[in-house]
């Protein structure tokens, strides 16, 4: 997992916007899957009541995450932030200083691995 970067983004779905959420999610997942080969994992999860979303994203390295952020900013950011309200953003792995700077607006928490393994 050397060099990998991953994060968990927790968001509230704005009231009455679940249908827009689902449409935007489908579009964003398709774009990441088609255009971002170094996006390793991109999973959206919705609470049963439709009010809270978790997005788990995993990238080969900081440059892959930056590529995703550039695509996000260019194509999705305004709609995303209109439909969803970020509440917590936790970053894991080894983000570069450039990636940390790019994530500043989301007020991330950075966690540092102290043990364990991944297969």
pLDDT tens column, 35-62: 999 999 999 999 999 999 999 999 999 9
**CATH topology for 5-110?**
Alpha-Beta Plaits (3.30.70)
Cβ within 8 Å of residue 62, ≥6 positions away: 3, 5, 94, 95, 96, 98, 99
pTM of the complete model: 0.93
Structure confidence by residue, pLDDT tens digits, 66-90: 999 999 999 999 999 999 999 999 9
């Amino acid at each position: 997992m050397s060099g990998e970067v991953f994060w968990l983004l927790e968001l509230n779905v704005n009231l009455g916007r679940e249908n827009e959420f689902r449409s935007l999610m489908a579009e964003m997942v398709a774009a990441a899957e088609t255009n971002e080969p170094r996006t390793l994992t991109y999973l959206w999860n919705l609470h049963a009541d439709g009010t809270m979303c978790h997005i788990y994203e995993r990238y080969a390295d900081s440059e892959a995450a930056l590529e995703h952020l550039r695509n996000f900013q260019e194509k999705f950011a305004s709609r995303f932030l209109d439909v969803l309200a970020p509440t917590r953003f936790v970053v894991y792995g080894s983000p570069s200083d450039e990636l940390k700077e790019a994530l500043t607006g989301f007020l991330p928490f950075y966690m540092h691995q102290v043990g364990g393994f991944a297969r």
